[in-house]
Chain A
Amino acid sequence: MASSILIKNEARLGLKMVAPAIGIIGLLVIYPILFNIYLSFFDVQLNGTKTFVGLDNYSDLLGNPRYYHSIGVSVIYLLGTVIGTTVLGLAAAVLMNQEFHFRNIARGLILLPYFAPVISVVFGWQFIFDPVNGIYNHVVVDVLHLTDTRENLIGNPDSALFVVILFDIWKHFPIAYLLLLAKLQSVPKDLYEAAAIDGQNAWGRFWHVTLPELKFVIATVVLLRIIWNLNRFEDVYLLAPNVETLPIFTYYQAFAGIVDQGGAAAISVIQLLVLVGLIWLYVRKVLKW
């Protein structure tokens, strides 16, 4: 009996302790989500007047070819960036786990792109790909003579998508690298020794020891990258506003040209559902956590 009273008291105290956190999360996360869902059923004017339109926003959206196009762009963007950052991060982590001179400096330098403010590096990248003065065209056309024509890679939405992917890989692989390196350092050395004794060469040891040990960190990296990049806005918009990923499409829908906040809300509701579904599928079915 005494212990059940104790448990009840504990539970009551626990509730009091987490209440402020729940309050803040409710205010900053739950409320906007709910309000967003609410908005998606209205035609919203800039002056604040709202007219209930039922599922019109959703049906308009599902009939809009630009929406499907942006989904396609987002899928390519996601695939490219998630795979790219994970693979490059893994390669860098394995490399930086070897012993060599000035390793600590190198380990630090790798993080630079991640620290650098987006706005400044974006201009750098735009300059690299500038059709007239950029180093890219200079190298490809004037030095290597690979083609005769100077391309405006960022100006063309199709090639700009790949520049944007490349930019994201460059900017965000350090976070994958950081997480993977931390785990790599804790892999017991004798596992590698045992694998070597069991006849595995360097590649076999990577495959049979490193990868299984990194499995969950790699999974975490992939999960984080999916969540972040499905919602990624500023990198894409600043570097190449003509690449219409879902967030960019949503932004145009909500704030540019014909302002349609209700439609934008509908997009984000769908995106939220898709994201939740994706994560659920990934965590429960792929990772079996």
Chain B
Amino acid sequence: MSSVILRNVNKSYGNLPIVKNLNLEVKDGEFVVLVGPSGCGKSTTLRMVAGLEDITQGDIQIGDRAINDLPPHKRNIAMVFQNYALYPHMSVRENIVFGLKKSGADAQTIKRKLADVSEMLKLDDYLDRKPADLSGGQRQRVAMGRALARDADVYLFDEPLSNLDAKLRHHMRTEIARIQHQYNMTAIYVTHDQIEAMTLGDRVVVMRDGVVEQVGTPMEIYLQPTNTFVATFIGSPAMNLFEAKIEGEDLVFDKYRIPASKIANVDMHNLASHETVLVGIRPDFFEDSALSLKRSPSDNLFEFNDIEVDLVENLGFDKEIMFKLGGEDAKARLDLRSHVQRQENISLSVDLNRVLLFDTSPQGMLINAGEV
């Protein structure tokens, strides 16, 4: 295992920049997830680490080796491809040991690794089959096995679960997390699926348009997104953002006045320099006031009264409601015990410790940054 360091890495095709000045250090044994919308440069970044794309500018280092000019076959990496890229003329067994053999492992090691991997990924029954005779999920496991069998410095995953159905994806996600902990491998994992990013990553790198927007643990990203892009990209349904005027010590929007001083980590002096701010509230942090869940005097709650519910979606364990707040569409996710009905007037309460404030610049930077 090894660390991976990317220093001022740039990639462009002709005049079109794809990755702009990227800096990232993946520690030894760390699982880092690159996440972002399509075209954000996350796959390109991964492919640069793999050596499948050349680096326009900057340095990449694996362990203490500079690898900029090393071709992929000399980098000692393993990779799982989105479309699996299994060798069609080889059996599952041959696919798994192919790279291992090339790396010069002895017969004993090859046998042991094959047994390990095929047991772990439940491939025992398919070892003699060709990829064409496998289902999508089985192929995915073979691709995974081929990478895991290798004794690589770094393991790279390029959206490995995106071709699976939802149930299988969930299952494999859990498997990957388990394997990663077991082997303590250094891994870079690319996905556009924020749930994969949140559940798998020791750290998550959120990218947009070739730029790293934020690097942090999943909880940092979730609770303290540095800007409105990260705030709305991570979390489903997306975070609600309301524009509020600052009047004295209060944030005013629609008919509500929120006392700014009660919101966590707010520097009142700094706040006074803004005329308006964006108030960010995750749908998950709304509660149906009628339920009075988890109330205690120390709670720092704010009540949004008189909310007319436009729509209720029952999801089983919880329900999502849609309503208007300050003229904007908003969403809340409520406990299943809530009895809200469509077109009913209700009040929603929010823990002010969980409310985020962003400035109204195009970047929408977080104002009340603090401890998570």
Residues of chain A from 60 to 101 with CB closer than 8 A to chain B in the complex: none
Q: Mark A169-193, 1 if CB is under 8 A from B, else 0.
A: 0000000000000000000101101
**Closest beta carbon of chain B to A193's beta carbon, Å:** 5
A204 within 8 A of B: yes
Contact A198 B98 (CB under 8 A): yes
Q: Mark A200-225, 1 if CB is under 8 A from B, else 0.
A: 11001000110011010000000000
Contact B85 A190 (CB under 8 A): yes
Residue of A nearest to B86 (CB): A194
Contact A197 B89 (CB under 8 A): no
A14 within 8 A of B: no
Bound-state Cα–Cα, A195 to B73, Å: 8
Contact B103 A190 (CB under 8 A): no
Contact B81 A199 (CB under 8 A): no
Given B71, B83, B86, B150, which contacts A196 in the complex, CB threshold below 8 Å? B71
Give the chain A neighbours of B82 by CB distance below 8 A. 190
Give the chain A neighbours of B103 by CB distance below 8 A. 199
Contact B72 A212 (CB under 8 A): no
**Closest beta carbon of chain B to A182's beta carbon, Å:** 18
Given A190, A196, A200, A215, which contacts B89 in the complex, CB threshold below 8 Å? A215
Bound-state Cα–Cα, A198 to B98, Å: 7
Give the chain A neighbours of B150 by CB distance below 8 A. 198
Given B73, B78, B99, which contacts A201 in the complex, CB threshold below 8 Å? B73
Residue of A nearest to B83 (CB): A190
B102 within 8 A of A: yes
Residues of chain A from 240 to 261 with CB closer than 8 A to chain B in the complex: none
Give the chain B neighbours of A200 by CB distance below 8 A. 73, 102
**Closest beta carbon of chain A to B150's beta carbon, Å:** 8
Give the chain B neighbours of A201 by CB distance below 8 A. 71, 73
Given B78, B83, B88, which contacts A197 in the complex, CB threshold below 8 Å? B78
Contact A194 B85 (CB under 8 A): yes
B145 within 8 A of A: no
Contact A188 B102 (CB under 8 A): no
Q: Given contacts A198-B98, A199-B99, are A193 and B73 in contact (CB under 8 A)?
A: no
Contact A196 B73 (CB under 8 A): yes
Residue of B nearest to A211 (CB): B89
Contact B72 A196 (CB under 8 A): yes
Bound-state Cα–Cα, A204 to B81, Å: 20
Q: Given contacts A196-B51, A197-B79, are A208 and B73 in contact (CB under 8 A)?
A: no
Residue of B nearest to A215 (CB): B89
Q: Given contacts A190-B83, A193-B85, are A198 and B99 in contact (CB under 8 A)?
A: yes
Given B50, B51, B89, which contacts A212 in the complex, CB threshold below 8 Å? B89
Bound-state Cα–Cα, A174 to B61, Å: 46
Give the chain B neighbours of A208 by CB distance below 8 A. 87, 98
Give the chain A neighbours of B77 by CB distance below 8 A. 197
**Closest beta carbon of chain A to B155's beta carbon, Å:** 10
**Closest beta carbon of chain B to A209's beta carbon, Å:** 7
Contact B87 A194 (CB under 8 A): yes
Given B51, B52, B86, B102, which contacts A204 in the complex, CB threshold below 8 Å? B102
Contact B50 A198 (CB under 8 A): no
Contact B73 A199 (CB under 8 A): yes
Q: Mark B77-117, 1 if CB is under 8 A from A, else 0.
A: 11101110111110000000011001100000000000000
Give the chain B neighbours of A198 by CB distance below 8 A. 73, 98-99, 102, 146, 150
Bound-state Cα–Cα, A201 to B51, Å: 13
Bound-state Cα–Cα, A197 to B149, Å: 13
Among A190, A208, A215, which residue has the most Cβ atoms of chain B within 10 A?
A190
Bound-state Cα–Cα, A204 to B52, Å: 16
Contact B72 A197 (CB under 8 A): yes
Bound-state Cα–Cα, A196 to B73, Å: 5
Residues of chain B from 41 to 81 with CB closer than 8 A to chain A in the complex: 50-52, 71-73, 77-79, 81
Contact B73 A191 (CB under 8 A): no
Among B51, B73, B83, which residue has the most Cβ atoms of chain A within 10 A?
B73
Bound-state Cα–Cα, A204 to B101, Å: 13
Given B52, B87, B102, B146, which contacts A191 in the complex, CB threshold below 8 Å? B87
Offer 21 A-B interface pairs, CB within 8 angstroms, sorted by A.
Answer: A188-B85, A190-B81, A190-B82, A194-B86, A194-B87, A194-B146, A195-B87, A196-B72, A197-B50, A197-B52, A197-B73, A198-B98, A198-B99, A198-B102, A198-B150, A201-B71, A201-B73, A208-B87, A213-B88, A213-B89, A215-B89
Chain A residues close to B by CB (< 8 Å): 188, 190-191, 193-201, 204, 208-209, 212-213, 215
List the 9 closest pairs (A to B, CB-CB), nearest first.
A198-B99, A190-B85, A194-B85, A199-B102, A212-B89, A196-B72, A197-B79, A199-B73, A190-B81
